[in-house]
Amino acid sequence: MASVQEPCKLLRKCRDVMARPHKAYPPISSIPRTPEARLHAPPSTATSVLYLAYGSNLCAETFLGVRGIRPISQINVSAPTLDLVFDLPGVPYLEPCFANTALRKVPKLPDPTNPPKVPPINPPWLTAAEGSDQHEENGVAVVPSQDARWTKGLVGVVYEVTPEDYGTILATEGGGSSYADILIPCFALPPRISVPEKPPIDLPKPFFAHTLFAPSIPEEGDGNEGDATAGDGPKKPDDPRNKWYWRFIRRPHRDDPAYSQASARYLKLITDGAREHELPDDYQRYLSNLQAYTITTWKQSVGRLIMLFTMLPFFFIVIFGSRLLADKQGRVPLWLAGTMAVVQNMTWMFYDAVLKPIFGDGERTQDKEGHGSRGWWRRQGRGADEETARLLD
């Protein structure tokens, strides 16, 4: 076991040295709040770009230190049309997934002629029995992390950056191979003060900002309702998705986008950034309740070691290739983007076919018996199992 841990420690130390900021960076508190006049100007001008950050770029260590960005101003915002998800595949056993955004599914208006049935309120004794896994913080019951949900849209920070810095952001985020640059409406959040000097009277006005978005592309786009490609119709004979090579050059994605868990290192960057920017308390609690991927067996440690050595060349390609070959807009050459997609897709194919059956789950924390912390039987049959247990008691 020691022979497995020593190379891991060596490579981890090398990674930390490479990612460590080479020069000091200013604190988040020193960046001024974006003025209203700039918010309602075009999102891209000759002097600045409005960029919405929601993942590790919230953290000063990453955004200001590692990437060397120097924002002109910043403002906390809510983007109600998006949700925070972790469905962008990373590296199994190391960084299973990264933050992404998804379009929120707005429910249809209820039919006034057919009102929904109100479910019965559980008695106190039943609530206590079902909530046995809960714990209390300051007298408030906290729901277990795997059941945590956030239904209020995306919360993040809009940075005003120079066009040169925005090109650096795109280059360090894959140079256009992982994310697409889109415009999204945002609402400014008021600063955290107890009593406002000038209470807001007018309705909040949205403004547009750039953000990075990786759409989830399913295998089939038959136009069914709820499909991510609804309305595209069936695939045509000349559709590239019919070609044998499509599985290698497509944007990497997983069959169950909600299955993977981000690493503890990555989640800490997000929670640290949310605390530094003083994002809403309930959103910070949601982020703190997210469960990180944890290795629980020695087989997973071996799988992690294999990934460390096999993915190291790809790591250098992504870091150095995207920075050296990206243009002024932060876009990498097409051949490099294709190479990155092929390597990542082959990595996940190798994981699904070989590593996972032998070494265990590299995306989600599993217990000692080898089962995932959220199996399909727990998601589908939890209510039935609890009812059966009550009958047996």
Question: Is 293 marked within a binding site?
Answer: no
CA distance 27 to 19: 18
pLDDT of residue 184: 93
> Is there a binding annotation on residue 54?
yes
CB 74 within 8 A of CB 34: yes
Which whole number is the average pLDDT over 299-324?
Answer: 79
Tell me whether residue 44 is annotated as binding. no
User: Does 56 carry a binding-site annotation?
Assistant: yes
The pLDDT tens digits of the residues spanning 3-60 come to 444 444 444 444 444 455 456 888 888 999 999 999 999 999 999 999 999 999 999 9
CA distance 276 to 58: 8
- Give the phi and the psi of residue 52 in degrees, each rounded to 5: -90, 120
351 is in an annotated binding site: no
Give the domain CATH number at 367: 3.10.490.10
Lowest mean pLDDT among 6-20, 77-91, 334-348: 6-20
Q: Which two tokens stand for residue 102?
A: 């998804």
**Residue 347 maps to a domain:** yes
| Best CA proximity match to 313, nearest among 339, 352, 351 | 339
pLDDT digits (tens, 9 = 90+) for 229-280: 444 445 566 666 666 666 666 777 787 878 999 999 999 999 999 999 999 9
Identify whether 61 is part of a domain: yes
Q: Is 119 exposed, middle or buried (0-12, 13-18, 19+ CB in 10 A)?
A: exposed
Establish whether 266 is an annotated binding residue: yes
What is the predicted pLDDT for the residue at 18? 45
| Token pair belonging to 312 | 């190291």
Classify residue 368: in a domain, yes or no.
Answer: yes
6 included as an active-site residue: no
Is residue 226 a part of any domain in this protein? no
Q: DSSP labels for 279-326?
A: --HHHHHHHHTPPPB---SHHHHHHHHHHHHHSHHHHHIIIIIHHHH-
What is the number of structural domains in the chain?
Answer: 1
Is 73 a member of any domain? yes
The residue that leads in pLDDT, 205 or 207, is 207
Residue pLDDT, tens place only, 112-132: 777 767 666 655 444 444 444
Residue 142 falls inside a structural domain: yes
pLDDT of residue 302: 94
DSSP class of 44: B
On whether residue 330 sits in a domain, the answer given is yes
Tell me the percentage of the chain whose pLDDT exceeds 90: 38
Domain that holds residue 183: 2-109+135-193+202-216+258-392
Within a domain: residue 90? yes
Residue 198 is predicted with a pLDDT of: 63
Residue 181 or 280, more confident: 280
Entry pTM: 0.73
C-alpha 101/C-alpha 210 separation (Å) is 13
Most confident of the ranges 47-61, 137-151, 363-377: 47-61
Residue from 24, 61, 33 nearest 275 by CA: 61
Catalytic residue from among 6, 130, 160, 173: 173
Q: Are 175 and 336 in contact (CB under 8 A)?
A: yes
53 annotated as belonging to a binding site for a ligand: yes
